[in-house]
Amino acid sequence: MKEILCIDDDELDHYLSENAIHSVSEDIIVHKAYDGQQALSCLREDKICPEIILLDVNMPRMNGHEFLKEFARTHDGRIPIIIMLTSSDQKTDIDLSMQYTFVKDFLVKPLTEEHVKKIQDIMESLAAGE
């Protein structure tokens, strides 16, 4: 696991996520986007290839659900694993995002070291399955 893209409108949440990720491994590169649209243009134009995307739901301009819809529609190439990271644990939010096969988990903020380790486990089991 080398690159992660965090999509969140809150600077503080970015700080907390980055902190948790780096406490597990200093080597992981963390990219930031502040809403769905910015994330899409990062992925398209800057050609970053994160293996994992951490996605918030409630954001200005383009929220998490809108991002998923747009991303599923337009993305070509290898689809990264998406993990929802949000302060919402509403069933509608969970159901709406988990219907995409590339969404692998639904975590409640803030990101912790345990979360990061869990993500690593998911990655490993997926890699073993391939």
Partner 1 sequence: MDRSLKPSLNLSLTLRYSVALIFILFILFSTYLINMYNFSRAEHDARIINISGMQRMLSQRVALMVTKIAENPNNQKTQPYLEKLEGAQTRMRQNHEELKSRIISESQNSDLYQLYFEDDGIDSQMQHYLGLASDFLKLYKAGDYNAEKAGSLSNEITFIAADGFLQKLDRAVSLYEKQAPGNLQNLRTYEIYFFVLGVLVLISEVLLIFRPMVREIVNKTETLSNRNKELTEFSYRISHDLRAPIRSVLGLVGIMEKANEKGDREKADEAFRKIKPALMNFERLVEDIIKLNKMSVADIPEEEVFIPAVIDESVKAVENILANDKVQIVVNTDIQHSCVMQKLLLRQILENLISNAIKYYDPEKEVSKLEISAHERDKKYIISIIDNGLGIPEDFRHKLFQMFQRFHPQKSFGSGLGLYLVKQSVKALKGDIRYVPRPDGSEFILTFPGKNI
Q: Is 120 in the site for partner 1 (CB under 8 A)?
A: no
Binding residue (CB under 8 A) for partner 1 from 35, 55, 68, 85 = 35
Q: How many residues bind partner 1 (CB under 8 A)?
A: 23
Binders of partner 1 among 2-21, rule CB under 8 A?
9-13, 15-16, 19
Nearer to partner 1 among residue 82 and residue 85 (C-beta)? 85
Q: Is 3 helix (H, G, I), strand (E, B) or coil?
A: strand
Assigned token pair, 113: 């070291």
Our finding on whether 102 is near partner 1 (CB under 8 A) is no
Measured between its terminal Cα atoms, the distance across the chain in Å is: 16
Instruction: Please tell me the chain's helix, strand, coil percentages from 3-state DSSP, rounded to the nearest 5.
Output: 45, 20, 35
Q: Are 43 and 72 in contact (CB under 8 A)?
A: no
User: Toward partner 1, which CB reaches closer, 110 or 123?
Assistant: 110
Under a CB-based contact definition with an 8 Å cutoff, are residues 7 and 36 in contact?
yes
Which residues would be at the binding site for partner 1 (CB under 8 A)?
A: 9-13, 15-16, 19, 23, 34-35, 38, 58-61, 87-88, 90, 108-110, 112
